[in-house]
A and B are shown apart, each in its own frame.
Chain A
Amino acid sequence: MKTAVEVSNVSMRFNLSSQKVDNLKEYFIKFIKRELKYTEFWALRNVNLSIEKGDRLGILGLNGAGKSTLLKIIAGVLKPTEGSIVVKGKIAPLLELGAGFEPEYTGAENIYLYGAVLGYPKDFIAEKYNEIIEFSELGKFINVPLKNYSSGMKSRLGFAIATIVEPDVLILDEVLAVGDAKFKKKCEAKIQSMFDKGVTVLFVSHSLPQVQKICNKAILLEKGEIIAVGEIADVSRIYEEKTS
């Protein structure tokens, strides 16, 4: 088996300052008075994880366990304080859809803009353009500025653009609340078709049944450390003991 994601010795430190110093004047006053104090907070500590190609990994843990931090590090948004990440192949983070949407632009213009944000080449977007519009079911609204869209329309467009690639690694966060029940079904079908192609999945959720439905493996995070890793059945038993 080949590994798709390799997380080695990753630690993430945040500096929590008791008062926020965000201007030069205060900074110098505090610097001279030696009042610049930070409390360190480790969101992740020495996390080692290797995910094999085709694995569907659930990430479990209570609030503040470091789940989102770990996903953001794997997606490349955050850079870890220590350690390194290797992701093989194309990664599609379906975390927060529509980052970089421009409200003044029409839906059509936003397809190119958001596609570019996600790192797609221009000809690829041009080729998939009609498919995106069709999937998002926006029809003639595609030429209306995005600021006039409903939130459902926006997330439909975001989902359609983000899932147009065939990723090797898919990152999912919680339930994808996209549009009405009918569209939700369509999204689930789309994601299922990716699963069938053998995509590697990272899935974060608080709902154990959902994780059990989707994933075959899981890790359990507590206070930034992995305390259990393995088959979904074993890890969910430990998780249930922890939460009950």
Chain B
Amino acid sequence: MKKHISNFKKYRFLLGELVKKGVTLKYRHSYLGILWTLIEPLLTMIVLTIVFGSLLHRSNDPSFPIYILSGRLMYSFFSNSTKVSMKSIRSHSSMIKKVYVPKYMYPLSSILSDYIIFLISLIVLVGVGIVLNVRPTLYLFEAIIPLIILPVMCYGIGLVLATFSVFFRDLEYIWSVALMLIMYTSAIFYPVERIIENGYGWLLEINPLYNVIVNFRNAIFGQPLDMRALELSLLYSVGFMILGLVLFYKKQDEFILHV
């Protein structure tokens, strides 16, 4: 354990450099730069609000765009970060073959640079909240909890995916199908009451992301945390983290033979 900590300290600077690289290179050659992080969710929010607001007769509800945006921002962090960390071992294959670096750094730096972009994109949420006059309450501080649980969960899932994708190339396609199912069961653009009434609440609860989004929204809309969702999301994040670390450590020495 002590060995791991001192090794982490030695490569802490590398982690910072890799995170910086992930963030800066994403926008280096685009004219609008980091603004894309803000424009893209804003545009999707507008379209989703118009379409689903009319369908569900909630066009005049000022909280509906916030409802959509909060779910949508969390989902896009979840989907981007797990995808990038899944590919992180193979995209750094030339480095892995040539120089020793603790391998968990690759998925970790992918998650962290996406997390920074995600935190920046939360500015949109604040902006839309101000424009639509949705007043935050003290419950907003609860948001810290889902905001910590989410990256841990993504790192755990990312480690599992990174390990398997070294050996099985088709995992990328399987995961994109899974991500689509996760999106539709994350209640991004619909209210959940009718689904729960019909007895399909379990379909939402087995989705790790849904439980995180529930509590993030509770914090925004001034409600206490949903304890069941909190327990489930903790269970998922700790579970995936342990599974991911065990798998990754067991297989990491073989990566170099397959990338």
Contacts and interface: CB of A to CB of B under 8 A. Distances in A.
A121 interface: yes
A24 B171 contact: yes
B55 interface: no
B170 interface: yes
Contacts of B56: none
Interface stretch (A99-107, A215-223, A236-244): A99-107
A15 B100 contact: no
A116 B174 CA distance: 35
Main secondary structure of the interface of A (DSSP, over half): loop
B256 interface: yes
B17 A27 contact: no
A23 B169 contact: yes
A122 interface: yes
B10 A22 contact: no
A93 B95 CA distance: 13
B170 A23 contact: yes
Given A100-B95, A117-B95, A22 B21 contact: no
Contact of B97 (A77, A104, A122): A77
A75 B100 CA distance: 7
A104 to B, nearest CB: 5
A104 B30 CA distance: 13
Range class of the A interface residue count? 20 to 34
Contacts of B95: 99-100, 117
A119 interface: yes
B13 interface: yes
Where chain B touches its partner, the secondary structure class is: helix
B197 interface: no
A75 B97 CA distance: 11
Contacts of A96: 98-99
B14 A117 contact: yes
B14 A116 contact: yes
Interface string A180-221: 000000000000000000000000000000000000000000
A95 interface: yes
Given A23-B169, A112-B17, A93 B99 contact: yes
B5 interface: no
A49 interface: no
Given A22-B167, A95-B98, A99-B98, A116 B13 contact: yes
A113 interface: yes
B184 to A, nearest CB: 23
25 contacts: A14-B257, A15-B257, A23-B169, A23-B170, A24-B168, A24-B170, A24-B171, A75-B99, A75-B100, A77-B97, A78-B256, A93-B99, A96-B98, A96-B99, A99-B95, A99-B97, A99-B98, A104-B28, A105-B25, A112-B17, A116-B14, A117-B95, A117-B101, A118-B99, A119-B10
Interface of B: 10-11, 13-14, 16-18, 21, 25, 28-29, 94-101, 167-171, 174, 253, 256-258
